[in-house]
Amino acid sequence: MRGVEVSVLIPAAGNGERLGLGPKAFLRVGGRTLLEWALEAFREAAEVLVALPPGAEPPEALRATFLEGGRTRQESVARLLEAASLPLVLVHDVARPFVSRALVERVLEATRATGAAVPVLPVPDTLVRPEGEGYGEVVPREALRLVQTPQGFFTALLREAHAYARRRGLAATDDAQLVRALGYPVALVAGERTAFKITYPEDLTLAEALARAWNV
């Protein structure tokens, strides 16, 4: 990552309610916290900003600037964006510890070329819209993609998208949808199955196994 022009923004202010083990930033996988995994993945970045849960003690000896997150992911990212000082941003969930150098490079390259880029994956399972408790209409999975992070943007564009969302009262689970709401295209690059988001307790078992195989 030739990182001189990139601010890495890490929303890490969630409480990890579905996992039930406290804020994921401080959750240990393979002997290090998810925050440490994220900082390792972006160790070459010129600037790294991290939003932590209100009241959380910023860990010592980690190379990053810490600030207080908001009530939602969107608010946390908005605060990080205000503090960003470089022309590109990469927004990455702390809940995704396994992000390869190749994935970061793919996102960055497309971001430099287009201004907005996100990694996506095909959907491996059959998708269905339930009818009550029963099996309803199948949704063609070929038409759909799973969206991951890191997501890359021109900093000015993402700021404009967040300001627009605030004015319109839009709520989003990622940043690309806010850029789309503004009417700006978002490029898709190939994601990675290993960059999955640790969300449920079973994911932690998978993450522990993967941590053993992941050489950093």
Q: Which residues bind ligand CTP (CB under 6 A)?
A: 11-19, 24, 51, 69-73, 76, 93-95, 197, 199
CB 69 within 8 A of CB 15: no
Whole-Å CA distances, 148 to 34, 80, 81: 16, 19, 19
- CA–CA distances in Å: residue 22 to residues 144, 173, 193, 199: 32, 20, 25, 12
Q: How far apart are CA 23 and CA 20, in angstroms?
A: 9
Q: Which helix (H) or strand (E) is 37 found in, with range?
A: helix 34-41
List the structure tokens of 163.
């300001």
Which contiguous run of DSSP H or E holds residue 212? helix 201-213
As a whole number of angstroms, the longest Cα–Cα distance in the chain is 53
Instruction: Name which of 46 and 67 has its Cβ closer to ligand CTP.
Output: 67
Q: Which does 72 bind (CB under 5 to 8 A by kind): ligand CTP, Mg ion, none?
A: ligand CTP
Nearest one of 36, 45, 35 to 14, comparing CA atoms = 35
Min. distance of Cβ 182 from Mg ion in angstroms? 23
Instruction: Please state the closest distance from residue 174 (CB atom) to ligand CTP, in A.
Output: 9
Which position's Cβ is nearest ligand CTP?
14
If contact means CB under 5 to 8 A according to the sort of partner, which of ligand CTP, Mg ion, none does residue 70 touch? ligand CTP
> Between residues 3 and 14, which has the closer beta carbon with respect to Mg ion?
14
Min CB(27)–ligand CTP separation in Å: 10
72/114 with CB nearer ligand CTP: 72
Could you say which of Mg ion, ligand CTP, none residue 212 binds, taking C-beta under 5 to 8 angstroms by partner kind?
none
CB 199 within 8 A of CB 18: yes
Give which of Mg ion, ligand CTP, none residue 24 binds (C-beta under 5 to 8 Å, depending on kind). Answer: ligand CTP
Q: Which is nearer to ligand CTP, 140 or 169 (CB)?
A: 169
Min dist CB 70 to Mg ion, Å, is 12
For residues 11 and 80, the answer to whether their CB atoms sit within 8 Å is yes
Q: How far is the CB of 137 from Mg ion (least distance, A)?
A: 28
Interface contacts to Mg ion, rule CB under 5 A: 14
CB of 10 to ligand CTP, least distance (A): 7
